[in-house]
Amino acid sequence: MTRSLQLRRLHYLNALFAPLTGQDLYLAQQIDDAISTSLGDSLERELTDPSFVKAVAQLFERLCAGQPQHGFFHWDANADDTGDSPLFARAGVMQGLRQLAAYPESTLLITNLRTAHCPPTKRWTERRRQNYDDTLTLIRDLAAARTRRSANMNLLFL
């Protein structure tokens, strides 16, 4: 694995698992090793690899299930091919925010938003970039408006 890929993965895992691990980089490395081992020959997998993202989301969901004070919701923008539409992005995010409203600490993980706006076979255009930026702003504003002031929400984009 290249050093930059390993560093990106550790930063991602550290950010995602920080509420549960106390931002311990050693634990992030252990989580990365465990996920890589469970996926088999996957040392070169990118953060956007669907199997890696799915494994991380499932692990985090299992860890949160054991902690009644921490909620977790994962929205995959590519799941139904409508993630590039602000209307459907709003619907998916609102579903997660409703589910997380009861928790004092929560994590909202949003994946594949970039690829929903610009598939790998396409090129970024000014319109696509503007739609992507508008969707990011919409999601951030929704999370800020629909989260209690006393709650602590981690909003992560991958």
User: How is the chain split into domains, by residue range?
Assistant: 68-157
DSSP 100: H
* Residue of 7 and 72 predicted with greater confidence: 72
CA gap 123, 134 in Å, rounded: 18
Q: Which of 88-92, 93-97, 105-109 has the highest mean pLDDT?
A: 93-97
pTM comes to: 0.75
Q: By the 8 A CB rule, do 39 and 47 touch? A: no
Closest alpha carbon to 74 in 83, 86, 85: 83
**Which H helix or E strand runs over 75?**
strand 70-76
Residue 139 vs residue 79, higher pLDDT: 139
Q: Which residue has the higher pLDDT, 51 or 44?
A: 51
- How many angstroms separate the CA atoms of 96 and 79, rounded? 14
Q: State the amino acid at position 113 in one-letter form.
A: L
List the 70-76 sheet strands across, edge first. Answer: 70-76, 105-111, 152-157
Q: What is the DSSP string of 108-132?
A: EEEESHHHHHS-TTS---HHHHHHH
Q: Which of 94, 90, 98 is nearest to 137 (CA)?
A: 90
Length of the chain equals: 158
